[in-house]
Structure 1
Amino acid sequence: MEVFETYQTPLSSRYASKEMAHLFSPANRFFTWRKLWLNLAIAEKQLGLPISDDAIEQMKANLTLTPEQFEIAAVEEKKRRHDVMAHVHTFGKVAPAAAGIIHLGATSCYVTDNADLIFLREGLGFLIRSLAVLISRLSAFAAQYRDLPTLGFTHFQPAQLTTVGKRATLWIQELLWDLRNLKRVRDDLGFRGVKGTTGTQASFLALFDGDHDKVEELDALVTELSGFQYAYPVTSQTYSRKIDADVLAPLASLGATAHKIATDIRLLANLKEVEEPFESTQIGSSAMAYKRNPMRSERVCSLARHLMVLHQNALMTTSVQWFERTLDDSANRRITLPEAFLTADIVLSTLQNISEGLVVYPKVIARRISQELPFMATENVIMAIVKRGGDRQEAHERIRVLSHEAGHQVKHLGLANDLIERIRADPYFDPIKDDLDALLEPSSFIGRAPEQVDRFLKNWVVPALEDPELKEAVGNSGKVELSV
C-alpha cells in the first residue's frame, strides 16, 4: 500500500518505457558511480599508485547495490548531508580492501557529472533508435497512401488537393531532421574526466608528485575506460551546464515536431478522415458514450509542451552558474534531465503506437473532396472551353456567376455544392459537357504528390535508416502497447 500513499511521477509510473525509467533509476545511478570509482582505481593503479589487486577485485564484485546497501547509504547521507560521501562509505563497507582509496583525488562531480554524461549518451541512444522505428512506421503509411487524393488545407481552409501519403512525408521530414540533431549531439558529447575540485587537476598532480604527463594520461585512461572518445579539454568543478542545454535543445525540437504531427491527427479526427487507434472496450467519455476522443494524440501534445519548456529550464540553469561552481543547479538538474528524457521517450512510443494503428476513411475523404473540388476545377473548365473555341473572359464571367450561386446554396441554404449541375445546365458549356467528369477526376489535381512520396522515401528515408544501429533497431522492433 505504501506505493499508493506517496506521490510518484506519472512519467515513470504510467507512461515511460522500462529501459528509460531504469536508466535514471537510483540503482543504475549508484551502480554507475561505483563503476566510475572502479575505473579511477584501475587507472591510478596502472599509473603506479599503490592500489592492491584485492581492492580492485572487491570493487568489481560489488558494483550492484543490494537493498541493505541502499538502507546503509540513506543512513549515511542523513548523518553526513552529502550523498557522494554516503556512497563512498557504503561502498567501502562491502569492498574493505578498497575503502581507503575509493574516490582518491576526486571531487564529487567526478562521479555525479561523469555519470550524468553517461546517462545523457545512453538516453540519446534510446531516443535515436525509437525515432528510427517511428520513421519506419510512418514511411510505410506514406507509401500505402501515396496516391490517395485528399483535400489540402492552408489556414485550415480548403486548398488544392494533396495525398494522404504526401502529407505524412511532411511529418517524416521533420522527424529526419530531429534524428540528425539527436545523432549530432550524441556524437559531440564528451566526458568530464578527472579534473579535480576547480578543474585544475591539482589533487591529481599532488598524487603523482608533480608529473603532468601522468595526470594527462590518467584523464585519458579513465575517459577510455568509461567508453568516451574524448574528455572536455577544460572544465571547472563541473562540466559546463551549456552541455545540458545543448542536449535538451534537440529534445525540445522533437517535442515541437511531435506536437505538430499529433495536432494534425487531432484535426483530421474531427473531420473523420483519419483516426488514431481506438480499442473496442475503450471509453471516450464518461458521459457521452458515443465519443471517440483522440486521447493518444492529446497526450502527445500535452507532454510535448512539457518537453519544449524543459529546455528553457536548462538554459536558465546554464546562465546562472557562478565562476567555477554553484550548487543551485543540482536539485534542478535532478528533475530536469530525467524528465526530459522520460518525456521524449513517452512522446515517441505514443506516436509509434498511433502510427501502427492509424485508420484512414477514403469515402469520407472523397465526400469532402466532392464538396470542394467543383470550385477548384473552375480554372480547368475555363481552359477546356477556350480550347473548344470559347472566349476566356466570357467563360470566366459565367463561371464567376455560377460559382456565387452555388456558394449561396452551400452557405445560406445548407445544401450541397451544385456548381457542376449548374455548369451542365448552361448551354454555353455544351462543347465540354462530356469532358466534365474527366475534368473533375481528383487524381488530376494532386500534381506530383505520389512521385514526390516515392522519391522522398527512396532518396532520404531509406539511406537514413540504413545506418547499422538504426537498421537493427527497426528490424528488432515490435508494436508498442500502451499501459494506459
Structure 2
Amino acid sequence: MQLQSLTAISPLDGRYRKQLEELAPYFSEFALIRYRVLVEIEYFIALGEQKLFTLPKTQVGALRKIYQEFTVENAQLIKETEKVTNHDVKAVEYFVKNELKGLGLEDKLEWVHFGLTSQDVNNTATPLFWKEAIEHVYMPAIANLVLQLKKFGKQWIKIPMLARTHGQPASPTILGKEILVFAERLEGQVKLLGDIPFAAKFGGATGNFNAHHVAFPKINWGKFGDKFVNNTLGLQRMKYTTQIEHYDNIAAQFDTLKRINTILIDFSRDIWQYISMDYFKQKIKANEVGSSAMPHKVNPIDFENAEGNLGLANALFEHLSAKLPISRLQRDLTDSTVLRNVGVPFSHSILALKSLAKGMDKLILNEAKLHDDLENNWAVIAEAIQTVLRRENYPQPYEALKALTRGGEQITQKTMHKFIDGLKISASLKKELKAITPHNYTGIW
C-alpha cells in the first residue's frame, strides 16, 4: 500500500492528518533533517566568524538559504545517502558539503561538522524544533483556550449554580467562578512551562571539547559553545554534559504539559457532567448524527475526544520524562528512538485543545435547569442559617438544622420558613434568615 491518510498506521498521520498538518514542520522526519542542516550551517558560519577560516560575508545569506529553502527533495537526497552511510547525521554532513561546493566553497568542506559528534547536532536540533513548536503552536492554542474560559467566566459570573461535593448537593456557587477555576489553574502551569529553559548540549564526543581543544588549544571553546547555542540558536547550553544533554529540562516540560493535560481532563469531565445534567445544551448541525440507533442523541463527543487524547498524551509524556534523563555512563542510544516520538504526545495534546475549542463553541447555557436544581434543594442553605444563628449565640444551631435536613422530608422554601418561624429569635432576625435563598447564597463573586 502507498502511504496516504487512509493507509497510515498512526491516526495522527491518518484520520487526524488535516488537523495536525501544522505540526509537520516541527516533528516530521523532514523537519528533523532540516533542523540538523540548520545547526550544521549555523555552526559553519560561527567557525568562520571565529576566524578559523575566511568566510566572505556575501556567502552567509546564501548559506542560510540552504536550510531556509530546504525541500522535501533535499531531505530525500539525504535519506538516500543514509542508506549508504547507515548514519543519519553523517548523511546530513555530506549533503551540506555538497551544497558548499555549489557555492564555490570547496576549500572549506572539512570545516563542516568540525570536531562534533552527532549528538552536538541532535541535542541542538531537537530542543530547537521543540522550542519553536511550543512557542508557535502550543502557546497560542492554550492561550486561546484560557481566553475562552475567561470569556465564559465573565459571561456567567452572575449565574448561580448548585454545587456538588462528593456528588451531593452542596452550598451554591457561581457558574462563571467555577469556569475561572480552570483558567487560573491553567495560567499557573503555563507560566511554569514558560519558565523552563530549552536546554541543549554542545561539547564534542564526551562533552569536553576534546577534538576542538587539541586542534586549537588557545581558543576558549566553552565560551564559543555558549555564544553559539545561547545567542545564535536561542537555546541554553548545559556546561557539564556527557555525550548527550541531561534532558532534565525537557523532562520538566513534559511533566508540566502533563499537569496541564490533567487539568484539561478534569475540565472535560466536569463539562461532560454538566451536559449530562442538562446544564448545557449543544448547538445542533442538521446533518450530524449522534447515534446510529437513537436519533435524539447529541453526544458530548468533543469533550470525550479531548479526554481520550489527553490521556494518550500523558501516558507518553510520563514515559518520556522518566526515561530521557537516564543514560548508561556517558551515552547509550535509547534516547535516540525515544526523542523521535516527542511529537506524538504533543500532537495528541493539540488534538485535545482543538476538540475542546470546538466543544466549547457548541455550549448553550440552560439557565432554567440551573434555577430548577437550586429551587429543588433548599436544604443547601442550612449552612447559612446555622452560621447566622451561631453569630447570634443561638444554642446548638448546627444540631437543629441537622435534625431538620436529615429527617427524610423534602426541604422546600415553605419547610425552611416554617422552621425559621419556630425559632425563638427576633422578628428582624427571622426576616434576615428568610431572605437567604439557594439563588443568592453564593458568596462573593
TM tier, smaller: 0.7 to 0.9
SS in 1 for 2:12: helix
Structure 1 180/81 Cα, relative in aligned 2: closer, same or farther at 3 Å? same
Matched, 1:260 2:266: yes
Contact 2:389/2:397 (8 A) holds in 1: no
Q: Which residue does the alignment assign to 1:289?
A: 295
Q: Which residue does the alignment assign to 2:71?
A: 66
Matched, 1:372 2:380: no
Matched, 1:355 2:360: yes
Percent of residue pairs identical: 18
Q: Which residue does the alignment assign to 1:301?
A: 307
TM-score by length of structure 1 reads 0.78
Contact 1:39/1:225 (8 A) holds in 2: no
Q: How big is the shift at 1:66? A: 3.1
- Please, which of 60, 65, 76 is the counterpart of residue 81 of structure 2? 76
Tell me which amino acid in the other structure corresponds to 1:190. A
Q: Which residue does the alignment assign to 1:101?
A: 111
Tell me which amino acid in the other structure corresponds to 2:209. Q
Contact 1:20/1:341 (8 A) holds in 2: no
Deviations 1:421-452 (A, max 9, x none): 456789965989x969954633421011x2xx
Q: Which residue does the alignment assign to 1:164?
A: 175
Runs of at least 5 residues in structure 1 that lack an aligned partner in the other structure: 408-416, 451-484
Contact 2:41/2:96 (8 A) holds in 1: no
The number of residues matched between the two structures is 429
Q: Which residue does the alignment assign to 1:249?
A: 255
Tell me which amino acid in the other structure corresponds to 1:147. K
Structure 1 7/400 Cα, relative in aligned 2: closer, same or farther at 3 Å? same
Task: Return the alpha-carbon distance in structure 2 between the equivalents of residues 58 and 377 of structure 1.
Answer: 74
Structure 1 392/134 Cα, relative in aligned 2: closer, same or farther at 3 Å? same
SS in 1 for 2:32: helix
Q: How big is the shift at 1:403? A: 6.2
Contact 1:134/1:355 (8 A) holds in 2: no
TM-score by length of structure 2 reads 0.85
Q: How big is the shift at 1:306? A: 1.8
Contact 1:300/1:351 (8 A) holds in 2: yes
Task: Return the alpha-carbon distance in structure 2 between the equivalents of residues 180 and 427 of structure 1.
Answer: 49
Task: Return the alpha-carbon distance in structure 2 between the equivalents of residues 83 and 9 of structure 1.
Answer: 23
Q: How big is the shift at 1:360? A: 1.1
Contact 2:281/2:363 (8 A) holds in 1: yes
Contact 1:149/1:162 (8 A) holds in 2: yes
Task: Return the alpha-carbon distance in structure 2 between the equivalents of residues 87 and 367 of structure 1.
Answer: 67
Moved more, 50-59 or 286-295: 50-59
Matched, 1:339 2:348: no
Structure 1 426/320 Cα, relative in aligned 2: closer, same or farther at 3 Å? closer
Task: Return the alpha-carbon distance in structure 2 between the equivalents of residues 394 and 71 of structure 1.
Answer: 79
Structure 1 41/137 Cα, relative in aligned 2: closer, same or farther at 3 Å? same
Task: Return the alpha-carbon distance in structure 2 between the equivalents of residues 291 and 284 of structure 1.
Answer: 5
Task: Return the alpha-carbon distance in structure 2 between the equivalents of residues 355 and 427 of structure 1.
Answer: 43
Contact 2:157/2:175 (8 A) holds in 1: yes
Q: How big is the shift at 1:72? A: 2.2
Tell me which amino acid in the other structure corresponds to 2:213. L
Task: Return the alpha-carbon distance in structure 1 between the equivalents of residues 61 and 178 of structure 2.
Answer: 58
Task: Return the alpha-carbon distance in structure 1 between the equivalents of residues 395 and 60 of structure 2.
Answer: 91
Runs of at least 5 residues in structure 2 that lack an aligned partner in the other structure: none
RMSD over aligned Cα, in angstroms? 3.4
How do 1:130-141 residues align onto structure 2 when only pairs under 5 Å count?
130-141=141-152
Moved more, 4-13 or 33-42: 4-13
Q: Which residue does the alignment assign to 1:25?
A: 28
Contact 1:191/1:228 (8 A) holds in 2: no
Task: Return the alpha-carbon distance in structure 2 between the equivalents of residues 203 and 398 of structure 1.
Answer: 81
- Please, which of 192, 207, 211 is the counterpart of residue 218 of structure 2? 211
Deviations 1:172-223 (A, max 9, x none): 11111111111111xx223323x11111101111332x1242x234313322
Deviations 1:99-119 (A, max 9, x none): 443212211112211011112
Task: Return the alpha-carbon distance in structure 1 between the equivalents of residues 254 and 389 of structure 2.
Answer: 59
Contact 2:49/2:55 (8 A) holds in 1: no
- Please, which of 177, 198, 206 is the counterpart of residue 206 of structure 2? 198
Structure 1 191/51 Cα, relative in aligned 2: closer, same or farther at 3 Å? farther
Q: Which residue does the alignment assign to 1:442?
A: 438
Matched, 1:121 2:135: no
Q: How big is the shift at 1:58? A: 5.3
Q: Which residue does the alignment assign to 2:46?
A: 43
Q: How big is the shift at 1:34? A: 1.6
How do 1:83-94 residues align onto structure 2 when only pairs under 5 Å count?
83-94=88-99
Matched, 1:321 2:322: no
Task: Return the alpha-carbon distance in structure 1 between the equivalents of residues 419 and 3 of structure 2.
Answer: 79
SS in 2 for 1:302: helix
Deviations 1:28-77 (A, max 9, x none): 32222222111111111122223554875653342233343333222211
SS in 1 for 2:164: strand
SS in 1 for 2:289: coil
Task: Return the alpha-carbon distance in structure 2 between the equivalents of residues 427 and 109 of structure 1.
Answer: 76
Greater RCO, 1 or 2 (C-alpha within 8 Å, sep 6+): 1
Task: Return the alpha-carbon distance in structure 1 between the equivalents of residues 41 and 387 of structure 2.
Answer: 79
Q: How big is the shift at 1:294? A: 1.0
- Please, which of 140, 158, 164 is the counterpart of residue 153 of structure 1? 164
Contact 1:138/1:168 (8 A) holds in 2: yes
Deviations 1:266-287 (A, max 9, x none): 1111101025555343322122
Task: Return the alpha-carbon distance in structure 2 between the equivalents of residues 235 and 428 of structure 1.
Answer: 77
Contact 2:115/2:212 (8 A) holds in 1: yes
Q: How big is the shift at 1:124? A: 2.5
Q: Which residue does the alignment assign to 1:454?
A: none
Contact 1:107/1:196 (8 A) holds in 2: yes
Task: Return the alpha-carbon distance in structure 2 between the equivalents of residues 402 and 332 of structure 1.
Answer: 58
Tell me which amino acid in the other structure corresponds to 2:304. E
Q: Which residue does the alignment assign to 2:122?
A: 112
Q: How big is the shift at 1:381? A: 6.7
